[in-house]
Structures are given as C-alpha cells and as structure tokens.
Amino acid sequence: MKLGFNLLLWTTYVTEDHLPIFDRLKAAGYDGVEIPVFEGTVAHYQKLGRYLEDAGLDCTTVMVMPGGGKNAISADPAERRGALDHINWATDCSEALGAEVLCGPFHQPLGLFSGHGPTEAEKADCAEVHKAAARYAAKADLKLSIEPLNRFECYFLNTARAAKALVEAVDEPNYGYLYDTFHFNIEEKSQPKAIHATASAINHVHISENDRGTPGTGPIDFGSVFWALKAAGYDGWMTVEAFGSALPDLAAATRVWRPLFDKPADVYQGAIKLMRKGWAAA
C-alpha cells in the first residue's frame, strides 16, 4: 500500500514554486504525490520528476478530457483520434515524471450530456480508444486507471459495475478503474458491496469526503471502505483527493463555492491519520 496526495488542492499546473509542498507532504508521511497533467511539455515533467526524486517521493498522475475535438465516446472518428492523442501525450508526460499510474475521467469532457445514458456504440468506441491507449502506456510501464464520475458530472461512466464492464471490454493488463469514495458515495447504495463486486478491476483508489474537504470529517464510512479493499487484497495507491475554493477554474469545475477547511495542512495531516489508523484496523 502506498499513500499519496493529489496536488489539485493547490494547483492544476505544478511548477518549482510548489516544491515546498513536496517536503511538507513527505514530512507528513506520504509516499508520493499525484501530479495533474493538464498542460505543459514533456521536458517540464522530466525536470519535475527530478525534483520528486530529490524529495524522496513516488508519483501518480491525473488528467481530464478537455473537449475541443477530443472525446473518446464521440461518433466522430477525428474526435476519438484526438482523445487518443491526448491520452498518449499525458502518458508521455507521466513517463517523464516516473509515474506509476495515470488516472482520471479520460473518457469524455466534463459536463457534457446527451440527454440519455451511454449507447452501445459509445461503449464500443471508448473501449477501442482506451485499448490503443493502454497498449501505448504499457511501453512506458504505466497503468491507466479510468475514473467513473457521478451522474451530475458526466453520463457515460457512473457506477462501479459499468467501470468493470469497460475494463473487461478493453482487456489489457495495465488498464483498470479508479475507485473514488466521493463519486460512489453518490452512485452506489453500498460502497463495500461495490468494491467486492468489482475488486478485480480496481487499480487505483481516491479517498475523498462527501464535501471534497478533509476525509474523515463527514458521513462517509471509510472504515468499511478500508475493510472491503483489504479483504479484496488491494495493495496499490490510496490517494487523497480534496478541493478548495482558492483556484477559480477548478472551484467552478468541482462546484466548490465555500471554504471546506481552515488550511491545507488540516487536510493532509488529517487524511494520513485516517488512512493509517483505518487500514490498520480493517
């Protein structure tokens, strides 16, 4: 088990200005960080990877599908090709960082809705794009982890069972799905049952509270989540994802309109205590 922290709490683009955060997270006991790959060059992430190595931190990465001609479920072959190119770019950046996992909702742009559920054609198109992406990522020894989102953020992939079905359709050993406690707190009637039913497809985990603030301060039963993951033999990354209101663009995307904590240290210090104690007790 590795414990990580997603840097989207502070920024969508990590630079040298954020290096002190590395040291604070390392001192708090984290094994690594999750770096957002939303923009930038491979050379930039190569340099950032050296800083991570100096700080003694491993890493994972997170991306989104930005739209603008990039959509893995589009009926337009050019948009699907654009989606594949974008995932492959993020893979190159992740490889430059030395990342182990590239995760995120890289199936469709956020906030895009068709007015109905996913079609069989969309499922087939997405599987085709992601299969090619997984094979490309395998060359970099990188795992891809697709993230289901709640139904208020996307329509294509919302539940654990749908995610497992997509993983089985892609059928590549380095492709799985990201289990996120925030989204499944909305979409699943029982998180332990969802984990039990789909454990074979889970290759990354996000620990996130119901309000996106400090894990363990809300109603999510993390003890049952840890128990289910441990019972399933999960031994990958468990990464904290929390959001604040300091970044206007990200706050708008995540619908965070009010302060959810006093200071970032409250989040990363509280979360690591929750994960360590909860995992030991599970």
Q: Where exactly are the structural domains of the chain?
A: 2-281
> How far apart are the C-alpha atoms of 228 and 234, rounded to whole Å?
9
So what's the pLDDT on residue 262?
A: 85
Check pLDDT > 90 for residue 258: no
Class of domain 2-281: alpha beta
pLDDT in tens, 229-243: 999 999 999 999 998
> How far apart are the C-alpha atoms of 148 and 173, rounded to whole Å?
19
Give the pLDDT mean for 58-71.
96
**Pairing of the two strands 58-62 and 237-240:** unpaired
So what's the pLDDT on residue 261?
A: 77
Q: How far is CA 160 from CA 191, 219, 233, in A?
A: 9, 20, 17
Which pTM was predicted?
0.96
134 conformational bin, left if phi > 0, alpha if psi -120 to 50, beta if neither:
alpha
pLDDT in tens, 120-149: 999 999 999 999 999 999 999 999 999 999
Give the pLDDT mean for 245-252.
64
Q: How far is CA 18 from CA 11, 24, 182, 189, in A?
A: 9, 10, 26, 38
Least-confidence region, from 251-255, 258-262, 267-271: 251-255
Q: How confident is the model at residue 172 (pLDDT cuts 50, 70, 90)?
A: very high
Residue from 177, 239, 245, 179 nearest 211 by CA: 245
Check pLDDT > 90 for residue 253: no
For every residue of the chain, which 3-state class applies, written as one string? Answer: CEEEEEHHHCCCCCCHHHHHHHHHHHHHCCCEEEEECCCCCHHHHHHHHHHHHHHCCEEEEECCECCCCCCCCCCCHHHHHHHHHHHHHHHHHHHHHCCCEEEECCCCECCCCCCCCCCHHHHHHHHHHHHHHHHHHHCCCCEEEECCCCCCCCCCCCCHHHHHHHHHHHCCCCEEEEEEHHHHHHHCCCHHHHHHHHHHHEEEEEECCCCCCCCCCCCCCHHHHHHHHHHCCCCCEEEECCCCCCCHHHHHHHCCCCCCCCCHHHHHHHHHHHHHHHHHHC
Q: How confident is the model at residue 247 (pLDDT cuts 50, 70, 90)?
A: low
Instruction: Indicate the average pLDDT of the chain.
Output: 95
Token pair of 159 as six digits: 């539940």
Give the pLDDT mean for 84-107.
98
So what's the pLDDT on residue 251?
A: 61
> How far apart are the C-alpha atoms of 129 and 136, rounded to whole Å?
11
Q: With residue 182 as reference, give the H or E element that holds it.
A: helix 181-187
Check pLDDT > 90 for residue 250: no
Q: Which residue has the higher pLDDT, 271 or 247?
A: 271
Give the pLDDT mean for 248-271.
80
